[in-house]
C-alpha cells in the first residue's frame, strides 16, 4: 500500500482549485475516458517504501538506478526534494509489437569437451538460445494516452525551472502525444520536432506501394521560457568546402555568394549548427554489428544521447530517463560529467544498466520501489505467470477484454475474473472510481446468467468503504468477490538452488579465497526451456504433417546446470541475507563463454570458479533469464 500520496503541484492558495494548476482546466485532446486521469492527478502520486539494493562506489553525487515505474519513481524524487535538469524518455510506442530478449545458454565448464571446443570460437548462430518476452507494446489508445498524460505530469513536477524534456516516439502515437505535451508544458514551450533518420533500405517496406518509412520523432520541450541550450556545431562537408575554389593574393581560398566574398578559413572556423533533421546518427538497424550493442531490444546509440545531453545540460546537472531500457542515457550522462537517474520497471533493464555502469567505473545506488508487486522479471512475464497460477483461469471469448478470463465451477457457473494490468500503474489501487467503472460499465455487458465476479487488487483504498460502495451501488444478483493479488504474486517468485565449495588458495599467483560452483538448478529456466522445446517439437510435427522434412533438436541442460548461470558476485562485507549488496568480486559470463571480471572484459573462459581477496560471506547468482538469488556462504 502507498505510504501517502505526493501532490503533483506546490500547495495552492486557499480557495484555489487544484485543477487551476493545469496548463488548461479543460483537456484539449478529447477521447474516451480522458477525464478519469484528472481524478488520479488530484489524488497525487503514490509514494511507496524504497529499499537500497546495492551501493557501488561512494556515490557522493546521488546517482540512481531505480527499479520502479515512472509514476512511483517521480513520487520518490519529489518526496526527497530531488529535481532534474534534463529528461530523455523513450517510452513504448503503442506499436502493437512484443519485444523479446534473446537468452543464450553458456558453455558448461564442467564438461571437458566444451573446454576443448572453446579453443575455436563458435559462430553466434550456433549458440543455443531462446527468446524471453521483455514487454508487450500493446495498448488501446485511450489507456495509453491516460497513462502517458499522468507520466508527463509526474515528470514535469520534478523538473527544475530551466529543465527540458525530449520525448522519443514514432508514427504510431506521436501525433497524439504531441497534443498531450502541449497541454502539460504549454504550446509556447514547444521547441523543436527532431527527425532522426533510422532508415534501412531493405525488407518488405522497400516493395510496399508507399514511401519508405525511415524515421523516429523526438519532441523537445522546455518547462519554462528560460532553458539550458548549448548550440552545437559540426564541421562543414568536404563537398561544400571544395566550392571555395578561388584564391586571393594572400593565398586564401574564397567563393562569391550574392556578391559577397566568403573565405573558407572563416567558414571552417565558424562551423555549421546542427539542425532538427539528424541523418548522421546511425541507428542499430543501420549498424547491427556495432560493438556498442548490449542485446537490448530497444537500445539507442550513445551518439544520439551525446547530442541531446551536450545541448540541453551542463556538467554537474542531473539527467533522468524514466524508461531507461539499456541504460544509454545514464551511461552517456556519466561519461559527460553529469549526474544521472535511471528508472525502469523491467529487471533486465536494471541489470543491464547496472553492469554497464559498473564497467564504466560509475558510482551509484541501485534501489527498488517496494510497491507490493513481486514482479517476475517484468510485468509482461508476470501477467503470463499469473494466468497459470490462478486455479481454473481460462480465456473466455464471450467476455469483453476488460476481463482477464473466467473460472467455471458447479455453484456459480462461469465467473468473470478481473486482473489489474501491471503495465498500467493507474489500475494498481482499487478505489471507488475503478470500482464504479467495474459496476457501471463492465458488469452490465456480462451474460445474463452471471452470478459472481472476482476482482483482484494489488492495493485497496479502503476495503470497508469499497465493500459498502459495492453493497449500495452493485447488482444484488451478482456477487463481487475481492481478492488480494499479492497472495498470488508471492508464489510467482521461486528461488534457484546451488551447491558450492569454498577454499583458501595460496599458489604464488593468487592469495585469497575461491568458490567453486558444483551445481546450479533453476526451475524457472528449466520451465522456460521445456516450454520452448514443446513449442518447437509441435512446429516440427506440424511441418511434417504437411510433407516438409524438419528436424527437432531440443535444448538440453546438463545435470550440473552451470550453463544457465550468467553472473556471480561475492559479498565479503555483510552476512545478513537481506542487507544491501556489496560486490567485492564479480564475474559475468558472456554469450560466447568469455569472463568479464569486475566489469573488465577478458579472453578467459569460465572455470566454474569465482575468486576474491577476502573470505566471502554471501554469494549472488543471476541465471540467464535474469533471476537473482542470494546464498549465505
The x, y and z cell numbers of residue 265, run together, are: 578559413
Sign of CA dihedral 512, 518, 521, 522: positive
Q: Report how far residue 546's alpha carbon sits from residue 549's, in angstroms, rounded to the nearest whole number.
A: 9
Q: Any residues with CB less than 8 A from the CB of 195 and at least 6 apart, and which?
A: 215, 216, 217, 276, 277, 278
The x, y and z cell numbers of residue 198, run together, are: 533510422
Residue carrying C-alpha cell 470497508: 464
Q: Within a domain: residue 251?
A: yes
**pLDDT value at residue 187:** 95
pLDDT-derived band at 432, boundaries 50, 70, 90: confident
pLDDT-derived band at 14, boundaries 50, 70, 90: very low
**pLDDT above 50: residue 16:** no
Q: Within a domain: residue 110?
A: no
* pLDDT tens, position by position, 343-392: 999 889 999 999 999 999 999 999 999 876 665 556 777 777 777 788 89
User: Who has greater pLDDT, 445 or 123?
Assistant: 445
Could you give the strand order of the β-sheet that contains 600-605, starting from the edge strand earlier in sequence?
600-605, 594-597, 585-589, 565-571, 618-623, 628-632
Number of domains in the chain: 4
Q: Report how far residue 89's alpha carbon sits from residue 218's, in angstroms, rounded to the nearest whole number.
A: 9
Specify the pTM.
Answer: 0.82
Point out the domain boundary residue: 491, 516, 534.
Answer: 491
The DSSP H or E segment spanning 386 is helix 379-389
In sequence order, what are the beta bridge partners of 498? 520
**pLDDT value at residue 100:** 67
Residues 611 and 579 in one domain: yes
Residue 380: HSE in the Cβ half-sphere, 13 Å Cα cutoff: 16
Point out the domain boundary residue: 340, 375, 410.
Answer: 375
User: Who has greater pLDDT, 207 or 110?
Assistant: 207
Q: Chain-centre distance of CA 242, in angstroms? A: 46
Q: Report how far residue 381's alpha carbon sits from residue 374's, in angstroms, rounded to the nearest whole number.
A: 12
**Residues of the chain above pLDDT 70, percent:** 88
Point out the domain boundary residue: 456, 491, 526.
Answer: 491
User: Who has greater pLDDT, 462 or 20?
Assistant: 462
* pLDDT tens, position by position, 572-614: 999 998 899 999 999 999 988 899 999 999 999 999 999 999 9
Residues 568 and 606 in one domain: yes
* pLDDT tens, position by position, 480-507: 999 998 888 776 667 899 999 999 988 7
pLDDT-derived band at 458, boundaries 50, 70, 90: confident
Listed residue (526, 606, 538) closest to 564, CA to CA: 526
| DSSP alpha helix (H) spans, 209-299 | 238-241, 264-270
In sequence order, what are the beta bridge partners of 415? 407
**3-state SS class at 626:** coil
* pLDDT tens, position by position, 41-94: 878 898 999 999 999 998 889 999 999 999 999 999 999 999 999 999 999 876
**pLDDT above 80: residue 615:** yes
Residue 545: HSE in the Cβ half-sphere, 13 Å Cα cutoff: 6
| 35 contacts 22 by C-beta, under 8 angstroms | no
Q: What is the mean pLDDT of residues 315-328?
A: 98
**pLDDT above 90: residue 468:** yes
In this structure, what CATH number is given to the domain that contains residue 10? 3.40.50.150
**pLDDT value at residue 33:** 61
Structural domain harbouring 520: 496-632
Q: Report how far residue 66's alpha carbon sits from residue 87's, in angstroms, rounded to the nearest whole number.
A: 15
Residues 439 and 574 in one domain: no
Residues 288 and 264 in one domain: no
Q: Report how far residue 403's alpha carbon sits from residue 387's, in angstroms, rounded to the nearest whole number.
A: 12
Q: Report how far residue 106's alpha carbon sits from residue 120's, in angstroms, rounded to the nearest whole number.
A: 15
Residues 546 and 471 in one domain: no
Listed residue (111, 627, 25) closest to 374, CA to CA: 627
pLDDT-derived band at 530, boundaries 50, 70, 90: confident
Mean pLDDT (the chain, rounded)? 87
Q: Within a domain: residue 127?
A: no
Q: Any residues with CB less than 8 A from the CB of 8 and at least 6 apart, and which?
A: 21, 41, 44, 45, 153, 154, 156, 157
Which of 131-140, 269-278, 368-377 has maximum average pLDDT? 269-278
**pLDDT value at residue 126:** 47
Residues 163 and 185 in one domain: yes
Lowest mean pLDDT among 198-202, 272-276, 596-600: 198-202
User: Who has greater pLDDT, 305 or 103?
Assistant: 305
**pLDDT above 80: residue 275:** yes
Q: What is the mean pLDDT of residues 162-168?
A: 99
**pLDDT value at residue 97:** 57
**pLDDT value at residue 32:** 59
Q: Within a domain: residue 122?
A: no
Amino acid at each position: 500500500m502507498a505510504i501517502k500520496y505526493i501532490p503533483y503541484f506546490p500547495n495552492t492558495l486557499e480557495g484555489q482549485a487544484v485543477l487551476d494548476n493545469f496548463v488548461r482546466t479543460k483537456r484539449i485532446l478529447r477521447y474516451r475516458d480522458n477525464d478519469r486521469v484528472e481524478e488520479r492527478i488530484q489524488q497525487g502520486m503514490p509514494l511507496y517504501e524504497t529499499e537500497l539494493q546495492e551501493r557501488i562506489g561512494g556515490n557522493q553525487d546521488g546517482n540512481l538506478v531505480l527499479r520502479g515505474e515512472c509514476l512511483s519513481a517521480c513520487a520518490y524524487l519529489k518526496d526527497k526534494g530531488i529535481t532534474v535538469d534534463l529528461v530523455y524518455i523513450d517510452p513504448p510506442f503503442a506499436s502493437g509489437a512484443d519485444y523479446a530478449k534473446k537468452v543464450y545458454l553458456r558453455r558448461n565448464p564442467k564438461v571437458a569437451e566444451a573446454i576443448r571446443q572453446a579453443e575455436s570460437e563458435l559462430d553466434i548462430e550456433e549458440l543455443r538460445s531462446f527468446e524471453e518476452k521483455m514487454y508487450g507494446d500493446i495498448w488501446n489508445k485511450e489507456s495509453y494516452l491516460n497513462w502517458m498524460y499522468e507520466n508527463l505530469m509526474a515528470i514535469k513536477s520534478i523538473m527544475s525551472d530551466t529543465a527540458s524534456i525530449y520525448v522519443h516516439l514514432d508514427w504510431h502515437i506521436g501525433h497524439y502525444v504531441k497534443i498531450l505535451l502541449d497541454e502539460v508544458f504549454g504550446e509556447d514551450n514547444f521547441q523543436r520536432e527532431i527527425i532522426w533518420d533510422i532508415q534501412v533500405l531493405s525488407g518488405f517496406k522497400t516493395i510496399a506501394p508507399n514511401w519508405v518509412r525511415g524515421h523516429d520523432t523526438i519532441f523537445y520541450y522546455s518547462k519554462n521560457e528560460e532553458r539550458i541550450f548549448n548550440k552545437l556545431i559540426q564541421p562543414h562537408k568536404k563537398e561544400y568546402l571544395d566550392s571555395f575554389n578561388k584564391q586571393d593574393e594572400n593565398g586564401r581560398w574564397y567563393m562569391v555568394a550574392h556578391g559577397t566574398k566568403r573565405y573558407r578559413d572563416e567558414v571552417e572556423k565558424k562551423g555549421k549548427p546542427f539542425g532538427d533533421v539528424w541523418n548522421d546518427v546511425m541507428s542499430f538497424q543501420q549498424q547491427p554489428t556495432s560493438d556498442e550493442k548490449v542485446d537490448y531490444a530497444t537500445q539507442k546509440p550513445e551518439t544520439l544521447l551525446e547530442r541531446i545531453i551536450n545541448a540541453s545540460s551542463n556538467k554537474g546537472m542531473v539527467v533522468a530517463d524514466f524508461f531507461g531500457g539499456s541504460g544509454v542515457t545514464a551511461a552517456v550522462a556519466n561519461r559527460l560529467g553529469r549526474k544521472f537517474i535511471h528508472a525502469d520497471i523491467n529487471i533486465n533493464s536494471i541489470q543491464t544498466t547496472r553492469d554497464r555502469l559498473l564497467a564504466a567505473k560509475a558510482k551509484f545506488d541501485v534501489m527498488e520501489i517496494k510497491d507490493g508487486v513481486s514482479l517476475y522479471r517484468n510485468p509482461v512475464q508476470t501477467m503470463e505467470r499469473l494466468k497459470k497460477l490462478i486455479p481454473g483461469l481460462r480465456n473466455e471469448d464471450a467476455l469483453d477484454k476488460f476481463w482477464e478470463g473466467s473460472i467455471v465451477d458447479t455453484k456459480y457457473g462461469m465467473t468473470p475474473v478481473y486482473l489489474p494490468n501491471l503495465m498500467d500503474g493507474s489500475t494498481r489501487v482499487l478505489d471507488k472510481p475503478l470500482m464504479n467503472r467495474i459496476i457501471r460499465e463492465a458488469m452490465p455487458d456480462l451474460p445474463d446468467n452471471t452470478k459472481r465476479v472476482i476482482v483482484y487488487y494489488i492495493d485497496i483504498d479502503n476495503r470497508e468503504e469499497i465493500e459498502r460502495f459495492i453493497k449500495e451501488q452493485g447488482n444484488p444478483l451478482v456477487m463481487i468477490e475481492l481478492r488480494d493479488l499479492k497472495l498470488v504474486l508471492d508464489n510467482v517468485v521461486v528461488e534457484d538452488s546451488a551447491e558450492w565449495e569454498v577454499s583458501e588458495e595460496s599458489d604464488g599467483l593468487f592469495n585469497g579465497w575461491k568458490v567453486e560452483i558444483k551445481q546450479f538448478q533453476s526451475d524457472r529456466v528449466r520451465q522456460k526451456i521445456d516450454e520452448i522445446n514443446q513449442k518447437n517439437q509441435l512446429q516440427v510435427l506440424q511441418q511434417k504433417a504437411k510433407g516438409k522434412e524438419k528436424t527437432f533438436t531440443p535444448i538440453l541442460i546438463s545435470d550440473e546446470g552451470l550453463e544457465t548461470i550468467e553472473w556471480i558476485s561475492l559479498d565479503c562485507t555483510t552476512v545478513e541475507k537481506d542487507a544491501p549488496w556489496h560486490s567485492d568480486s564479480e564475474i559475468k559470463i558472456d554469450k560466447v563463454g568469455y569472463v568479464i571480471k569486475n566489469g573488465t572484459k577478458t579472453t578467459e573462459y569460465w572455470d566454474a570458479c569465482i575468486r576474491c581477496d577476502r573470505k566471502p560471506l554471501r554469494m549472488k547468482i543471476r541465471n540467464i533469464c535474469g533471476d537473482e538469488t542470494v546464498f549465505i556462504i
